[in-house]
Amino acid sequence: MKIIVPIKQILDPSGMTFRRDKERMFINREEYIVDPASKAAIEAALQLKGDDDTLIAISMGLPQADDALREALAMGCDEAFLLCDNAFENADITVTTSILVAAILKLGGADLIVTGHQSADTGSGQIGPRLAEALGYAQVTDVSAMSTEDGVLQATRRWGTAEAAYATVEAVLPAVVAVTPEAFPPRYAHGARIMSAYRDWDVPVWDMAYLGLDEAALAPLLAFRREGFPPPLEVGERFHGDPADVAQEAVMALKLQKLIG
Amino acid sequence: MDFSFPKEYQLFRRMVREWVENEVKPLAKVIDREHRVPHETIKKAARLGLMGVPFPQKYGGMGGGEIGYCILMEELGRACSSTGTVIGAHTGIGAMALYLDGTEEQKQKYLVPMAQGTAIGAFGLTEAQAGSDAAAIKTTAVRDGDDYVLNGAKVFITNGDIADIITTMAVTDPALGAYGGITAFIVETDTPGFSIGSLENKMGIRGSSTAECVFQDVRVPKENVLGQFGAGFLTFMKTLDIGRASLGAATLGGAQAAMEASIQWAKAREQFGAPIATKQSIYFMIADMAIDIEALRSLIYRTAWLIDSGQPHILEAAACKTFGSEVSHRCIDRAMQIHGALGYSRDHWIELGWRDQRISEIYEGTNEIQRIVIAASLFRPHGLRIPT
Amino acid sequence: MDFTLSEDQLMFKKMFADFCAKEIRPQGEQIDQAEEVPADLLEQAVDQGFWAALVPEELDGCGLDIYTYMLMLEELARADMSTALILSVHNSLVVKPLIDHGTDEQKNRYLEALAFGEMLGAFALTEPGAGSDAAALATTGTLDGEDYVLDGTKIWVSNGATAGLFLVFAKTEEGITAFLVEASTPGLQVGYREKTLGLRGVSCNTLYFDGARVPAANRLGEGGQGLKIALGALELSRLGMGALALGASERALEEAVQFSMEHIQFGVPIAQKQIIQNYIADAKTQIEALRCLVTHTAWLADSGQDFGLQASIAKLCGARTASAVTDKMLQVHGGYGYMKEYAIERYYRDCRSLEIIEGTSQIQQFLIARNIYNAEGLAIQP
């Protein structure tokens, strides 16, 4: 089985401070990390991968996304490819999809593509479904468990809004799976593999020309105007009155929210 | 000159930091309160190759060298000195002695499992009358057939009660004194006659055990002589010399954590109408921390580089330990002052860091001994011997 | 200038020293471990006059002058810091303000109980939003008929769980006002006890005032006079911190000198090593400088002069001295200094509090600088 995991490198959110009063975000520590959703995808793929299977990590990003791919290799991926070109700079979700699809086709397609359900920075949640549509593969999103047998994927995903309601979905491979990050806490890489991640692997860089993409394919549909804070929300409920009464009301409210038994 | 860490070390640091944050830090206060070693953490560390970071992969290690090991110790120092102490005594001195002076057979038999973390190590040198004066040890090793029989008691041995292997120094010829009369032995702790006496009740690093180790007619096969017979003093000096660099790295982590906590608190806490970070009394303290930390960081990693490139490092490593422990003292003390009453409360991390820090000026050679080592290395080329 | 102690002062000093050495000192380790000073020990201290140090002789107190009171605190600290702090808070921060500002009726009502062990005193000033910035306190005192109703929260109140009488500071119409509040007052609840690094025998608690009714007759001093009363009390208490630091530093030095003579390395007691001798000499030098400072400040107080500036200096110097001396004396002990069987690690932990409690060292710096600049006509802000 050939598994491809598209991963994303993002700015570490814990190095950012959001100041509503100043209407902007401050980056107090500029560090890049592998998106937690991507790491969960790698973990999900590693759990599924058998000895005869190949796991390939790809990433569309800046040159430094090479570090993210090295981390994927350290975790256990077999190969990694960086999709990088100046022309990719203004990519929106449609363009990103085109680039990833071009790479996946260059690799000869896959039996399974595993992505994160939603990235920590832009969080559109669209990559999985868009890849499936573009490639004509089956798609299952928000997956918390999965297995494959004889070319069929069995995936467990949330179902509706009812609490603890799940559905098991079957899909014939090839398929795209978008995993729920919480269900796949990523493993830590073994130290020895970290040491060899940069020494023992090549990460080829594929540009626009190599991927056979022209300017039309790279023209974004979305224009970015600005970013800002949403309007302030009044959240929560206030209770007033006698402490004993207030305590009762608060307990009732917590019980209704099923936060206490 | 390129002062940047090679990419694999940057990746290693990132991954270790995440591991420490999720697996080590949450237990820091717990093990202090419960006065126990975090065995669960040690097992996890072993599975990731973190119990043998400096050793080559052919000996079961991670192949990270001294630089990699200092990175690990720094990251552990940021979160939990106790865990750092347990791993440090195991890797930095217990197993390190084997790496420096072991035969190939000994390395395969003992270093490999220690590097893989399936066997835990300790370093058995100190005795009640032989602390700073390490040469004054009295534990004896007497030849009997194919064995040496060890008798004596060691004190203040980190990991003493959890170790499988203790690299032990014993007197093989009292007449020859320190040079020629002491030999290093590899002792398996399940050997009959080895037992644990008392466990110390310490002010800090309570998540590590400090044990009295008793040797009563403990038979050690002659194959377990470590290094040259009679040259045990050199073995332990060499081991302690190298160990000092990574101890310094641990204190760097502690100082860094103190500064980061201070920055977070100072910007959040308001008194006199503004965050206390805007008050000179406070931000000057933080600036002083940053200066100390920058200087220490350069010293540590340059020394690690000296070690990895096979260059002389005795003075630098002693400086790492001395400067590092004194920097971390200043930094955690300033952090406590910045946190005010909260710093004095056991509900917060600062007082734990403060208690844990203090031992770093004392163990593995007090800072007074370090200064003797440094002075001796300065005057030796001039032909002058510095007395202790 | 005559630095000789009078016969009375010598008698008191000996009495305090003997009691502390015999009864309190041996319990130091246990007090730290159990996080409690035994009630019977505090009772014994009553008989020795420790609770009535500053109560005038006419009211059956010891009527000590400030200097002799400092000798008392020094001996207590030498024996055990927790016990010393408990009694310092009681005497400096509750008994003394009551004597200075109380009406005859208030003194009649409370001094005897305070002096003879029925009521331990505690001082409730600090709040979550008012630490160094004490004036920012938010606890309110609303006049309602013949009572004031107190609402608010106080934190880090030493003796919080053991006190019978609290000196509480709240905002009334006139400004910050002081109140004598009995522990049994309905609406006053003693809450969470802080877990501390050192001074573990002292109970530091959060106090909740929720509609607590305090008779107007329990207002100490005038409305709006509270901050002045608090700062005045803190002046004496800060001098007392200097005395505590002195006793603690002397104890640390004593421990180290003993240890260095017994502990043999390189064939000789470590006392024979020059660097150890230097540490001992430096500690002694710092201690003697502090002693002169405390003595001089106590004399200023006893001769009726302003001593606030000197008290801040004594506290600042004391805190730094105690930290430095306990640290170095711990180093003299080597590895043994880190073990709980030796008293030094307890003193190291206990003395670290002195740079924080009763006005941090940074606040003392500000007060000292302000005193200097105000005299030159320049106003400065913290």
Is C376 one of the catalytic residues?
Answer: no
Same domain, yes or no: B46 and B78 = yes
Residue of chain B nearest A71, judged by CA positions: B11
CB burial of residue A44 (10 Å; 0-12, 13-18, 19+): buried
Same domain, yes or no: B100 and B134 = no
- Spatial separation of the C-alpha atoms in residues C327 and C355, rounded to whole Å: 14
- Residues β-bridged to residue C153: C208
Same domain, yes or no: C258 and C271 = yes
Residue of chain A nearest B8, judged by CA positions: A195
Same domain, yes or no: C290 and C161 = no
Binned at pLDDT 50, 70 and 90, residue A123 comes out as confident
Q: What is the pLDDT of residues B161-194, one digit of tens each?
A: 999 999 999 999 999 989 999 999 999 999 999 9
What is the residue type of B327? V
Contact C158, C200 (CB under 8 A): no
Q: What is the pLDDT of residue C285?
A: 98
Q: What is the pLDDT of residues B83-131, one digit of tens each?
A: 999 999 999 999 999 999 999 999 999 999 999 999 999 999 999 999 9
**Would you give the DSSP letter of residue B110?**
I
Same domain, yes or no: B73 and B22 = yes
Token pair belonging to C239: 């001098």
- Spatial separation of the C-alpha atoms in residues A180 and A158, rounded to whole Å: 10
Q: Domain with C217 in it: what CATH number?
A: 2.40.110.10
Query: Which among B131, B272, B279 is the nearest to C334, CB-wise?
Result: B131
Q: What is the pLDDT of residue B349?
A: 95
Q: Domain with B85 in it: what CATH number?
A: 1.10.540.10
Contact status of C359 with chain B (Cβ, < 8 Å): no
Q: Do C196 and B345 touch (CB under 8 A)?
A: yes
Asked if residue A159 has pLDDT above 90, the reply is no
What is the residue type of C210? D
Q: What is the pLDDT of residues B55-81, one digit of tens each?
A: 999 999 999 999 999 999 999 999 999
Instruction: Show Cβ contacts of residue A149 under 8 Å, excluding neighbours closer than 6 positions.
Output: none
Across residues A184-204, what is the average pLDDT?
A: 95
Same domain, yes or no: B112 and B163 = no
First to last CA, chain B: 38
- Spatial separation of the C-alpha atoms in residues B313 and B202, rounded to whole Å: 32
Q: Domain with C335 in it: what CATH number?
A: 1.20.140.10
- Spatial separation of the C-alpha atoms in residues C53 and C90, rounded to whole Å: 10
Binned at pLDDT 50, 70 and 90, residue A261 comes out as low
Q: What are phi and psi of C141, to 5 degrees?
A: -130, 105
Establish if C1 belongs to a structural domain: no
Contact status of B30 with chain A (Cβ, < 8 Å): no
CB burial of residue A55 (10 Å; 0-12, 13-18, 19+): buried
**Structural domain of residue C207, as residue ranges?**
121-224
Q: Hey, of B5, B9, B13, B14, which one would you mutate to test binding to chain A, going by the most A CBs within 10 A of its CB?
A: B14
How many Cα neighbours within 13 Å face the side chain of C19? 24
Report which of residues A256 and B40 the model is more confident about. B40
User: Count of B–C CB contacts within 8 Å?
Assistant: 106
- Spatial separation of the C-alpha atoms in residues C133 and C332, rounded to whole Å: 38
The parts of chain B modelled with pLDDT lower than 70 are none
Average pLDDT, chain A: 92
Q: Determine if the pTM surpasses 0.90.
A: yes
Residue of chain A nearest B64, judged by CA positions: A195
The parts of chain C modelled with pLDDT lower than 50 are none
Q: What is the pLDDT of residue B379?
A: 97
* Number of compact structural domains in chain B: 3
Same domain, yes or no: B77 and B153 = no
Query: Which among A190, A192, A198 is the nearest to B7, CB-wise?
Result: A198
Same domain, yes or no: B160 and B67 = no
What is the residue type of A51? D
- Transcribe B227-286 into DSSP letters: SSTTBHHHHHHHHHHHHHHHHHHHHHHHHHHHHHHHHHHHHH-EETTEEGGGSHHHHHHH
**Structural domain of residue B154, as residue ranges?**
122-229
User: Within 10 A of A233 (CB to CB), how many other CB atoms are there?
Assistant: 6
> Where are any strands of DSSP class E within chain C?
121-124, 140-144, 147-158, 165-172, 175-182, 188-193, 204-215, 219-220, 264-265, 268-269
Q: What is the pLDDT of residues A81-92, one digit of tens each?
A: 999 999 999 899
Asked if residue A35 has pLDDT above 80, the reply is yes
Binned at pLDDT 50, 70 and 90, residue A23 comes out as confident
Same domain, yes or no: B152 and B277 = no
